[in-house]
Amino acid sequence: MTENAIDIEVKNETEYKKHGNVVIKMEHLKKSFGNNHVLRDINLEINKGENLAILGQSGTGKSVLIKCIVGLVEIDDGKLFILGKNISELNDKELIETQKKIGFLFQSGALYDSMTVRENLEFPLRKQLRLIPKDKLDSMVKEALHDVGLDKAIDKTPSELSGGMRKRLGLARTLILKPEIMLYDEPTTGLDPITSKEISNLILEVQRKYDTTSIIITHDIECTKLTADRIIVIKDGICAAEGTFNDLEKSTDPWVRSFFE
């Protein structure tokens, strides 16, 4: 007999409580594209308020992993729990409600160049909150811009902003919906060292202010060192190493240590 929505919700809530502060949990997660087995057997738990960095060579499935979490890619096998809910057991409405709690900062920022900074921030609010008073809308936009240090750029267009400012705007547009989970895909790519450090510090500020649980995909070892509470290294579709920055930097495995040299 098929379980109804209430049964599933109760079971999901029980699962969440059983795992305590675990916000994201993966059990034997698999994802292939044809004969390319990208994620072979991912087992991972991410705790509330934790910044987890994921390292790995290009093509090892780091970005695919976070796209599975945000729902841009569907898993082939295994279990994925987000905020205690088994994603495969949710109906469309429940899935959308869960995905609203996830913020995704794309490499490009995914900004609308034809819109001003203000309009870029208003867009997700109007889309998800429908009818919202103008004074409330203005307040939320200004708060989001203040959080990323772009107060004075509100009437500019993305083309008038530097690379670092565009990253900040992309982050502000994500934060404006107050997500519980943040996914960062190469947040410092293409930025100079000083701006990269500013973005890394901003990731920490977001963690402190909003108590977000975050996954950071990056090749930037300085960003990793500054932002990560814990690091996972993916190799051959599995989590091949795990630990703090200091743990992995001192690893006896030459392959693991190569990421820190």
Convert the pLDDT of each residue in 61-88 to its tens digit. 999 999 999 988 999 999 999 999 999 9
| Domain extent at residue 218 | 48-73+91-260
Which two three-digit tokens encode residue 68? 């599975």
- Decide if 101 contacts 179 (C-beta within 8 A): yes
Residue 19 scores a pLDDT above 70 = no
Which two three-digit tokens encode residue 186? 């190469």
| Strands 181-185 and 22-33, sheet pairing | unpaired
Kindly state the DSSP code that residue 3 receives in the 8-state scheme. P
**Assigned domain for 247 exists:** yes
Helix (H) or strand (E) holding 28: strand 22-33
Q: What is the signed CA dihedral for 189, 190, 192, 197, rounded to 10 degrees?
A: -20
Q: Which residue has the higher pLDDT, 17 or 246?
A: 246
The pLDDT assigned to 106 comes to 78
Q: Where are the alpha helices (DSSP H) in 131-192?
A: 134-147, 163-175
**Assigned domain for 6 exists:** no
Looking up residue 240, the CATH number of its domain turns out to be 3.40.50.300
The count of domains in the chain is 1
| CA atoms of 68 and 56, how far apart (whole Å) | 17
Mean pLDDT of the chain: 87
